[in-house]
Every structure is written in structure tokens, then in C-alpha cells.
Amino acid sequence: MTQDNRLSGGQIDRTKTLNFKFDNRSYSAHPGDTLASALLANGVRLMGRSFKYHRPRGVLTAGSEEPNALVELRTGNRQEPNTRVTTVEMFEGLEAHSQNRWPSLKFDALAINDRFSTFLTAGFYYKTFMWPAAFWEKLYEPMIRRAAGLGSLSMQEDPDEYDKGFRHCDLLIIGAGPAGLMAALTAGRAGSEVILADEDFALGGRLNSETFSLNDGDATEWVKQSVAELSAMPNVRLMPRTTVIGAFDHGIYGAVERTGDHLASLPSGKPRQILWRIYAKRALLCAGATERPIAFENNDRPGIMLASALRTYANRFATTAAQRVAIFTNNDDGHRTAADLHAKGIRIAAVVDVRDDAPTSHDYEVLRGAQVRDTKGRLGLTFVEVELADGSSRTLDCGALGVSGGWNPNVHLTCHQRGRPAWNDDLAAFVPGADLPPGLSVAGAANGVMSTHGALQSGAEGAAQALGLKGPLPDLPKAEDTPISQTPFWYVQGCSRAWLDQQNDVTVKDVKLSHQEGFRSVEHLKRYTTLGMATDQGKTSNMGGLAIMAELAGKSIPETGTTIFRPPYTPVPIATFAGRMKGKEFHPTRLTPSHYWAKERGAVFVEVGNWLRAQWFPLPSETHWRESVDREVRQTRASVGVCDCTTLGKIDVQGADAADFLNRVYCNGFAKLAVGKTRYGLMLREDGIAMDDGTAARLAEDHFVVTTTTANAVKVYQHMEFVRQCLFPDMDVQLISTTEAWAQYAVAGPNSRKLLQKIVDPEFDISNEGFPFMACGNITVCGGLRARLFRISFSGELAFEIAVPSRYGDALMRRLMQEGEEFDVVPYGTEALGVMRIEKGHAAGNELNGTTTALNLGMGRMVSKNKDSIGSILSEREGLNEPGALMMVGIKPVNAGDKVTAGGHLMDATGPVDAAHDQGYVTSAAFSPSLDSHIGLGFLKNGGTRQGEKMRLVSPVTDLTVEVEIVSAHFVDPEGERLRA
Amino acid sequence: MIIHHPLLGPRDSSEFVYLGDASLINRPDWQAEDATEAFYDYAYLRDNPAGEHRELWFHEGGDRSWLVVTRNTATHEISKVELARDVARAQGRSK
């Protein structure tokens, strides 16, 4: 294809040609083009369909504020919906597709919606799809979602990398137009650390789009020199293709750098985008201004765009939307577009200016006091109907119409900490208010300073003030200093299907309807009509809607108010926020030292927090997990089993006051625990509810090792530090988490001692007399390897826990298996561990569930009344100690073979089954190979006195009713004889 | 947010874990006549001002200090950062 609408000049590299495809047709472009400028150069005005009415649409703007021309960029798993063609930098082989149309962009079946527009006005969904209620979810919503959509997702995983980074500076300059460049020169020459960020790939801002001269030379030359000077400064970092998306607390700014979006393919290992967190001592917002349109009938046809955008396409990109162009304006800037286009050889059909005193031109016709009434052209503009000052009408033949309604300063970032912009009558626009984010100041057009000279000067001054620079400002290049001349004009009277928000298809009529129906506050207007709620956040539409609402309410615009701007300034892909934190990087896996040994044994693993723990170890002959678990339990209880319990939290407590400290954090006493002994400890929260349990082993007078449950390790450590630092600051005690320093294994079963005796060095006596139940001590194993041995039991068997430095964990496990062969040793996983602790009646996470007290757990008497401990006072509250309180019990089915189900509720044997008659609930359940029956643990009202009672276990959700008997929670060895063997 | 740690200088708030009202330092005397009432107030009653607030933050991703941060909840302005241990001592807490 030839580039028919290519003009002379511009900042494109004509020596190179790039090929691209739009809707499967091939076109050519040059480096320096955007997808928008390349499409226009190739004579393509129609680029998309609108959201609701499926109206044909083209580009409205030449920047990131674009509401209309959204495409699906790239293909396959890199497909990216809703990409603004105005921000896509051209690369070789680019492929894009129009969206929200079927079967094709030129013939879209759903354009029928436009015929029914009378019914599709604001609040249409709320009014129409009311009954029957069930239809909303099943029929209406899916239907609407299909019809009113934007781009589609590829539904494939994004193959690219995204990254995050941190940067620091004295001054962050946001925007590299005249104000930003001058600010950077001022700060950079003074030696400050400067970051200059701009969303565009070319620095220079508006100067790239104008034909101004600076210092009697081309403005773009000054830009080049300035950028070259800044690039050479080691203290200045230039960040093109970087959008500052938000101003956050304490001088922290979010910025998205598009490092790879402009490349046909990413070099390996390079991220596609980087989310920067910039810590700036000061920041200067030089974000410029955005031109605003005027609303008139059928103002959304392809070819109708902002006048400044037409100027940008002509001057910077050397292209035009059409060879004959008209301008509709309320200010002098619109005439600048006409003059620039005329100079490029474009025919100006006329300049339609609403002002009676508009400037005139020798080069083209100016229609003073005239307004655009309507437009024609189904898939692109063909004619413009103008009402002249005398009331007569005139038809202009043109393929593009540039509209200029004045300029809005880009105040967005100034509002990110709930600052409100202030109204400026001269500009008829909002400018930054007084309550800016701390450390942020504003310069140039963003601050309402619209001339080039003003921008340069305020940029230099802004940088000097922000940094407290003394001495004269640098010399400013000579530049135009034209005053603003405009008459506020928002919409043509009498229009109705005149678009304000083109992305969400909101018209003047919708705003009027909203007012009529009582949705008059700006926030209501926004939500009722969806004005400004699309991905462009109403950058080109909010002001128009506000002005109409103000007029209808008989108030001024500032009295009507403005909505809050929130981050991000422009849309950010979710992938960029995620960065590398996806999959396992987001949720890392913790492996115990003997993980690979367990893997070799064919263990099935379960995630416990971030840990992977062996759940059971199936044998090749076993087909069901229960077979494996039952075998592991039987073999452990018959001989010996080994279980990896490294994941338990371990906290080292040392200091002269260590025992006193544990006395405060555990509800039971620790002061009198002898050296070489271990004790079970229950921690309460200050409100008297059980928090966690574990053991504390006293290795020396001033040294304890505390264990926590796997799940609560982090929280318990935090809590203990709180108690130490905030409550008892003078205690001589130090804490450190040693969870990862020790690999720890439970060796359980009647032969556990015999097995350990084979590896514990002979000088350590671990006989029942030498190392009785609850003993602990430092030992050595395997000929000198330091280890810790605890005689504690979770299974109810004669059992030990042995800990060695982490790096010996794998070796120890293999050694235990090898030495245990003669005892038929079995490794067991978390399932068998769980079965055995239920058989023994030990509470675990299911019972310590954040609602239960020591009393509920059957440990009421453990709470010492003779000392100060966290939670002891409030555990005595009446409400927690009422007669009939829940008590932990054991549950057995009456009919052998029936299952006990965790989560089921206990009801009396007869009577109603409802919440009012609820007697308790089951927290843990398992099949017990030792009893050859299903069993459970649970909480029952008055549970301590109800043993032997027959009840019903019900689960109305799963339609379950089982007859059960209440029994002791200690199913196995209630006297504890095995423990002490 | 940036928290100026008294020992470690400016640190990003993402290194910290938030607990809440620094009144949690004022744990009542367990042997007082009105201990139950006092503990009830201590455990359940908190100020939640829109404005200046003294809060406990834990430097979990750092030196594991508990800090008392005086922060305006409406503007996020931080006016003071102290080691909680110093605050506790100043309030007469000891062992």
C-alpha cells in the first residue's frame, strides 16, 4: 500500500520502511510513527467500533488520552486488548486487529444497537432488565457482556517477563516538554540527582508537534541539544517511554517503563515492562495539558478529532487524516492548526469559530460566529453542516474536522492524595489546587501556564525552588508568549446525540436525562451515565459533562465540582503490577532438608503454608491413600516410625529472665521447670482465647527452645517479641527464630529407643531411667555430630524428637531408615501423624481454631492463677466460663462402619435438628486403624459429663445423619503407659 | 510510606507489619482490684482517630524492632518514630 496521506517533513525516518498489518491487510510505515499515524498515512480513518452503539470510530487524539481507537495488538499469547493506537510505537511486523465488531469492522451486525439508541440511554440496564430476578445472572448479563465489550483476552499465559525496580532522586520531573526539559537543565547543571520521565518515546512534549521557533531556530533543534546535554550528565537519568502513574505517600511515585513494547521481539531475559518505585525528595509535575472537544450532533465520526491532534499528526508524523480539513474552535489555538495544515499543503475547507470577533486569515476562510450543527459520512466524515452567524446553513466538504474547545491542564497527579483542583476563569479550566501531595510542585501548562515562554520559565523556576537553588536561573531560549484568547463553549445548543465520552458512549442527552432523573451530584452523574468511567478516565470528556450539568443546575462549574482523579494515570497491565511475583515466585515453596529423600521414597506431598510436607509414603502395591496411612499408623504403633517435623516453628529463648519470660507468654508455669526437662505449653491471646501450643525445653538455666505449630510460627514469634519489647522491656531475654537451623524428626513407637540407641553416641544414656519421659538434652550422634534430643510424644507412643543442624537432616533420615531396617521402621507423613494424634486426643489446629479457650480444650486447670500471664485475666470472664461450656470430647459411631465427619454438628438423639438445638460440633475426624473404626474429636456442651451418651451427628448440607456415642478423647492408651515405657 | 527507623534510618513501609493502637503497651496490672475491667478496656477498646494516631509497627523484614509510629491517618504524615521499648520504659514498664 502507498502512504497516500503522507506529508513532507516530520520526525520520521524515511530511510527505513516498516511493514505492519491491521485487520490482516498489509501497510507500510516508518520508524518514528505510531500505529495511529501510520494508519492515517495509509488513509485508514476507521479503526474501531464504539462500546455500546457499535458506532464506527477513528482516532480522536494523538496521545495517551485516546478514548476511541483501541485495538488488539499482537497475536497469540502476546495479544493485548484495548491498546490505544496513539501510544503504540511502530515496529517491523506489527499486527493489530480491530475489536468489538462482528463480522467485520466495516459491517458490524451489532451496529443495530445504534438504531435502538432511544432505549439504550443512561440507566437503561437498571430500568429494563429488572424481572424476573433470576434472568439477570443467567441471561441478561452474559448477553450484555457479549454485546457491549472491548477487546478480548487471549486466555493464554503471557510469555513475557515483567520486572520491578527502585530508584532514588533529588528531583523527579514528570513530563519532558518545554517546562520539564528546562527544569531538568536547571537541576542537572546544579548537580542534583534528577530523573526526567516522559510517557512518549520522543522527549520534547508539545515542542515536537509545533512549528515554533526557539532562539530563532527550530524548537525540535533545541529539544535535541537539550536532550544531548542532559544525556551527558551523570547525575541525570532520562526515562522515555515511562509513565508516572501515581503520586503516593512520602514522595514515592509509581512509574511504568515500557522497555520492550516497541520491539518486534524481546531480547532474551529482558523485561517487557518495569514498574518503578521512585523515591523522590521533590517532584515537579510538567505533564502539560490536554485539548478538549466540543459536543455537537454526530461528533464521533472517524475523521473528527482534536485540532491539536491533527497538528501533531501533520508536524511530527508528517501525515493527515484527509486532504480537505475543516476546523471548529472557540479559541485562537484552533487557528494555529489551520495555519500549520495550510503550510503543509492541506486544503482548509473553513475555520468555524463560535466567536464573532475571531481572527481572520488570507489563506483560508474563517466563518465567524458559526457553529457545527451536524456531520455526515457512515464510515468516515464526508460533510460538515455549519450554521452561520446569520442563521443560514452551509455544507463543508471535508474528510477531517479538527475540534478545539480549549485546553485542560493535566492536574491528575496533583489529586492523587485527595487534593482538589481550583477553577481558573481565564482558561475556563481546572488548575492544580493548593493541597498538593507533599513535595510536589507544578510547572508549565499543567499549572495553567500555556505559552512556551511561560513553560520554560516556570520549569526553570520550579526546579530552582524545589531544590532551593541560589543564584540566577539559566538563560531561557527566546520563545512565543502568546496570551490565551478563547470564549468558553462546551456544546452546540439543541444537540442530543452529541458524544461527550466516546469510550463509554455517553452523550449530551444522557447527561440531561441524568439531571432530569435526579442524579445531579457529579459523583452520581458519573455512576449513572458512566461518564468518565472508561479506561481513559474521562480525560477528554469530564469537563464537557460537568459544564452541561452546571448549566442545567444553574450553577457555575466550580460549584458543580469535579470528580477525584485516582492512580493509575493511564491503564497498567496486571502483569506489570505482578512483575516477577507470579506462580512460585509469588508463593515460594519451603522444602525441608530431607525433602529429596522423601521424594525418592515416592512421598505424596501437601502444602502447609509455604512448606511442602510428606503426606504419606505409598508402596507400589497400594492403590488407595488409606492403605498407606493405615499401614504407617499400625507399623509405628507396633514397632517404630519416623516423621519429619522440621516445619514446626522453633524459637530460641535465652537470658537470665528466660524462664520468667516464658511464664508470661504461656498460661501454665515454667519457672520451676528443671534443666533437662521439657514441658507442654499453651499460649493464650490477651482475650483469653487459645493462640498456639507447643513445647519448651530447658537446655540450661538461661536457655530454652520453644516450638510452635507450623502455621503459627511467624505470628508467635512476632507476639513474643511484642511481649518482650513492649510489655517487659527490662527483662534480660533474647529471642531468635531457629526454625531453619535445625532438621527435626519424630521417632515414635515401642522400638524407637532401640533404634536411636544405634546412632546416639554411647556416652549418652537414653534409657528410661537416664532419659525419662519429657527429658531433653544436648547429645551427639553418629560419632560426634551435635544434636538435640527431646523425649516428647505427639503419637502417644514411646517417642523422641531428634534435631540435627539442617545440613545433616537428609543424612540422618537415611541413617535412621538404614539402622531401622531390623525393626521394620516406617516413614510416616502428616496423615498418619494426624490419625495418631486424634487417637491420642491431642488438640491441634482444628481445635485451636481462634474460638476456643483452655477450658474448652480440657486444659482449664492449666491456666495458672498465681502469676501474670497473657490472657489469664480475661480467660476468667463469665461468658467463657458459663456452665454448659463446650468441652473437647471423643466421638465414635454407634454402628461399626459409619463415618464421623468433621464439620458435622451434634444433636440430641431425639428432637429437632436446628441451630437452637445445636449441642456442639466435630473438629477432627479420621479412620483409626488401632480401633478399626472411624473416630472424631469435637466440642460438646457440658462435654465433660456426657460420656456414654448417644447423639446424632448431622450435616444438613450434605444430608448426613449418623448415630454416635460420646467417649473420652483419649482413644488410645488413656493412662499414658506407653509414653513412659 | 517511608518510616524513619530510629536505628536504621528511612525504610519502606513494606518492610513492616502493622499492629495498631500503641495503647497496647499500657497493659494493666493483673493484681489490681479492677483488673478484669481494666483488661477488658485494654483488649477491646481502641481509638480510631481520623488524624494523629500512635501506632505499633513491627520491623519484620528488618531488625525485628517494635516501633511506635505517630502518624496522621488522614494524611499519612509521620511526625515521630520511637522504639517501642523506649516508650514502654518511659511509661514505667520494666519486668
* Min distance A866 CA to chain B CA atoms (Å): 10
Domain of residue A819 covers 598-647+742-828
Contact A88, A66 (CB under 8 A): no
Q: How far is B61 from chain A (nearest CA, A)?
A: 12
Option in B36, B40, B93 nearest A729 (CB): B93
Task: Indicate if A169 and A143 belong to the same structural domain.
Answer: no
Q: Do A876 and B36 touch (CB under 8 A)?
A: yes
* CA separation for the pair B94, A449 (Å, rounded): 61
**Do residue A56 and residue A139 come from a single domain?**
yes
Other CB atoms within 10 A of residue A329 CB = 28
Asked if B89 lies within 8 A of A721 by C-beta distance, the reply is no
User: Residues with Cβ < 8 Å from A806, sequence gap 6 or more?
Assistant: A593, A646, A740, A741, A742, A743
Determine phi and psi for A692, rounding to 5 degrees. -165, 160
Residues of A in contact with B19 (CB under 8 A): 722
Determine whether the interchain pair A727/B27 forms a contact, defined as Cβ–Cβ distance below 8 Å: yes
Of A405, A427, A458, the residue that ends a domain is A405
Q: Total structural domains in chain A?
A: 7
- Whether A577 and chain B come into contact, CB under 8 Å, resolves to no
Determine, for residues A874 and B39 on separate chains, whether the beta-carbon distance falls below 8 Å.
yes
Query: Would you say residue A894 lies in a domain?
Result: yes
Q: List, in sequence order, the alpha helices (H) in A758-841.
A: 809-819, 830-840
Q: What is the pLDDT at residue A763?
A: 96
Among the partner-chain residues B66, B76, B94, the one whose CB lies closest to the CB of A726 is B66
Of A252, A279, A726, nearest to B24 by CB-CB distance is: A726
pLDDT tier at B3, thresholds 50, 70, 90: very high
A369 occurs within a structural domain: yes
Residues from chain A contacting residue B40 (CB–CB below 8 Å):
874, 877
In a domain, A358, yes or no: yes
Q: Are residues A882 and A919 located together in one domain of the fold?
A: yes
The alpha carbon of A953 is separated from its chain's Cα centroid by a whole number of angstroms, namely 43
On whether residue A128 sits in a domain, the answer given is yes
Which amino acid is present at A442? V
- At residue A140, the pLDDT reads 67
B87 neighbourhood in chain A, CB within 8 Å: 726
Q: What is the pLDDT of residues A112-152, one digit of tens each?
A: 777 777 666 676 666 666 666 666 667 666 666 666 567 88
Among A726, A733, A874, the strongest candidate for a mutation testing the B interface, having the largest count of B CBs within 10 A, is A726
**pLDDT confidence of residue A30:** 97
A877 with B27: Cβ contact below 8 A: no
Q: What is the mean pLDDT of residues B46-72?
A: 96
Domain CATH number, residue A812: 3.30.1360.120
- B-interface mutation test, from A436, A725, A869, most B Cβ less than 10 A away: A725
* Residue A592 is assigned to a structural domain of this protein: no
Residues A939 and A949 in one domain: yes
Residue A157 near chain B (CB below 8 Å)? no
Residue A856 falls inside a structural domain: no
Beta bridge partners of residue A375, listed in sequence order: A384
The answer on A126 and A67 residing in a single domain is yes
Q: pLDDT tens across A728-787, in order?
A: 999 999 999 999 999 999 999 999 999 999 999 999 999 999 999 999 999 999 999 999
Q: In what order do the strands lie in the sheet with A80-84?
A: A25-29, A18-22, A94-98, A70-73, A80-84
Say whether A729 and B89 touch across the interface (CB within 8 A).
yes
What's the complex ipTM? Answer: 0.99
In chain A, the residue whose alpha carbon lies closest to the alpha carbon of B85 is A725
Say whether residue A114 is in contact with chain B using an 8 A CB cutoff: no
* Stretch B26-31: mean pLDDT: 96
Contact yes or no for A440/A461 (Cβ under 8 A): no
Distance CA B54, CA B2 (A): 16
Residue to substitute from B11, B14, B21, B30, interface A, most A β-carbons within 10 A: B30
Which domains, from first to last, does chain B contain?
A: 2-90 (3.30.2270.10)
Q: For B85, which of A417, A725, A873 is closest by C-beta distance?
A: A725
Quote the pLDDT of residue A436.
95
Question: Do residues A35 and A86 both lie within one domain?
Answer: yes
CATH code of A503's domain: 1.10.10
| Residue given cell 501454665 in the structure block | A668
Q: Which residues contact A669 (CB under 8 A, 6 or more apart)?
A: A663, A864, A866, A867
Q: How far is A804 from chain B (nearest CA, A)?
A: 26
CB pairs A-B closer than 8 Å = 81
Chain B residues close to A874, C-beta within 8 Å: 36, 39-40, 43
Looking from the CA of A730 toward its CB, the CA atoms found within 13 Å total 8
User: What CATH number did the domain enclosing A962 receive?
Assistant: 2.40.30.110
B32 close to A (CB below 8 A): no
Does A438 reach chain B within 8 Å, measured CB to CB?
Answer: yes
pLDDT attached to residue A612: 96
Distance from the Cα of residue A832 to its chain's centroid: 39
Nearest by CB to B95, from A686, A687, A730: name it.
A730
A394 and A317 in one domain? yes
Q: Searching chain B, which residue's CA lies closest to the CA of residue A724?
A: B85
Same domain for A6 and A143, yes or no, is yes
Q: How far is B19 from chain A (nearest CA, A)?
A: 10
10 Å Cβ neighbour count for A727?
21
φ, ψ at B28 (rounded to 5°): -70, 165
**In sequence order, what are the residues at sequence separation of 6 or more whose Cβ sits closer than 8 angstroms to the Cβ of residue A379?**
A45, A46, A56, A106, A302
Q: Which residues of A touch B1 (CB under 8 A)?
A: 249-250, 252
Give B75's contacts in chain A (Cβ within 8 Å).
417
B30 touches chain A (CB under 8 A): yes
B30 neighbourhood in chain A, CB within 8 Å: 868, 872-873
Q: Judge if A173 and A265 occupy the same domain.
A: yes
Q: Residue A683's pLDDT is what?
A: 97
d(CA A22, CA A4): 16
**Does any CB of chain B come closer than 8 Å to the CB of residue A731?**
yes
- Look up residue A726 and give its DSSP letter: I
Chain A neighbors of B56, CB-CB under 8 A? 722, 726
Residue B76: closest CA among chain A residues belongs to which residue? A249
Q: How far apart are CA A592 and CA A807, in angstroms?
A: 10
pLDDT number for residue A645: 97
B89 and chain A in contact, CB less than 8 A: yes
Query: Read out DSSP for A849-916?
Result: SSS-BTTTTT-GGGS-SSS--TTTTGGG-GGGS-TT-EEEEEEEESSTTPPP-TT-EEEESSS--SGG
Rg (CA), chain B: 14
Cβ neighbours of A872 in B, within 8 Å: 30
Q: Are residues A771 and A733 in the same domain?
A: no
Q: Which residue of A has its CA nearest to B95?
A: A728
Q: Is beta strand A94-98 parallel, antiparallel or unpaired with respect to A70-73?
A: antiparallel
What is the pLDDT at residue A662? 98
- Considering the domain architecture, whether residues A395 and A417 belong to the same structural domain is answered as no
Q: What is the pTM of this model?
A: 0.91
Return the residue of A nearest to B72 by Cα: A249
Instruction: Compute the nearest-CA separation of B49 from chain A (Å).
Output: 18
Which CATH number do you get for residue A709?
Answer: 3.30.70.1400
Whether chain A has a CB inside 8 Å of the CB on B18: the answer is no
* CATH number of domain containing A38: 3.10.20.440
Yes or no, beta carbons of B19 and A722 under 8 Å apart: yes
Interface of A with B in 417-436 (CB under 8 A): 417
A731 CB neighbours in chain B (<8 A) are 95
Best A869, A873, A875, A880 member to test B by mutation, with max B CBs in 10 Å, is A873
- A415 shares a domain with A398: no
- Examine residue A580 and state whether it is found in any structural domain, yes or no: no
Using 50 as the pLDDT threshold, list the residues of chain A that sit under it: 1
pLDDT confidence of residue B34: 95
**Can you give A504-554 as a three-state secondary structure string?**
CCEEHHHHHHHHHCCCCCHHHHHHHHCCCCCCCCCCCCHHHHHHHHHHHHC
Examine residue A533 and state whether it is found in any structural domain, yes or no: yes
β-strand partners of A329: A353, A404
Q: Given this model, what pLDDT does residue A130 score?
A: 60
For residue A462, the domain's CATH number is: 3.50.50.60
Domain boundary among A386, A405, A424: A405
Check CB contact of A882 with chain B, cutoff 8 Å. Answer: no
The last residue of a domain, from among A738, A771, A792: A738
By Cβ distance, the residue of B30, B56, B84 closest to A868 is B30
Instruction: Please give, rounded to a whole number of angstroms, the shortest distance from the CA of B52 to a CA of chain A.
Output: 16
Residue contact A877–B43, C-beta within 8 A: no
